[in-house]
Amino acid sequence: MTQPSTITEDDVRTALNELREDAATGGVRLSVLALSRRLGLPNTTLRRRFPTICAELATDLAAPGQAAHTAGSTALTSLRQENVRLRRDNENLAANLEVAIANIQRLTLQAHDLAEALEHARGVTRLPRRSH
């Protein structure tokens, strides 16, 4: 069993304020996981020992950045939709490529058979090949 850490609520609040400043400048994403990493604690330990701070952070994430979160959510949704469309297009193109390959193979064999039939009809005699 590990030794209990000596991190106090003041330490957590100080780290949370630093994390908020970093998130405001775009350096870090604000989350409980980021806070736990900053403190050097496992995520579950932070949630268990400081539930009020984690709840406060969760409400901060939901309330003030709601417009930014909605914009990010909209961008994420559009990226997911684009990804689905691209996967579908890729599958269609792969299927079309397989059909094209099969047609090329069929036409190659058909052209070979027609060339042999023409040679036979015209009475073309093939000469044996010399080896080098």
pLDDT for 63: 62
Count other Cβ atoms within 10 Å, centred on residue 119: 12
Tokens encoding 125: 């005699």
DSSP reduced 3-state for 10:
helix
> Each residue of 24-56: pLDDT tens digit?
787 778 888 888 888 888 888 888 898 888 888
Encode 2-42 in three state secondary structure.
CCCCCCCHHHHHHHHHHHHHHHHCCCCCCCHHHHHHHHCCC
- The larger pLDDT score, comparing residue 65 to residue 24, is at 24
pLDDT surpasses 80 at 72: no
Distance CA 67, CA 82 (A): 22
| Residue-wise burial string across 75-113, b where 16 or more C-beta atoms lie within 10 A, e elsewhere | eeeeeeeeeeeeeeeeeeeeeeeeeeeeeeeeeeeeeee
Q: Tell me, what's the pLDDT at 127?
A: 86
% of the chain with per-residue pLDDT over 70 = 88
Q: What is the pTM of this model?
A: 0.45
pLDDT surpasses 90 at 115: yes
Q: Would you state the pLDDT for residue 66?
A: 52
Q: Integer distance in angstroms from the first to the last C-alpha of the chain?
A: 81
Q: How far apart are CA 30 and CA 16, in angstroms?
A: 9
- 51 class by beta-carbon count within 10 Å (0-12 exposed, 13-18 middle, 19+ buried): exposed
**Cα-only R_g, the chain:** 34
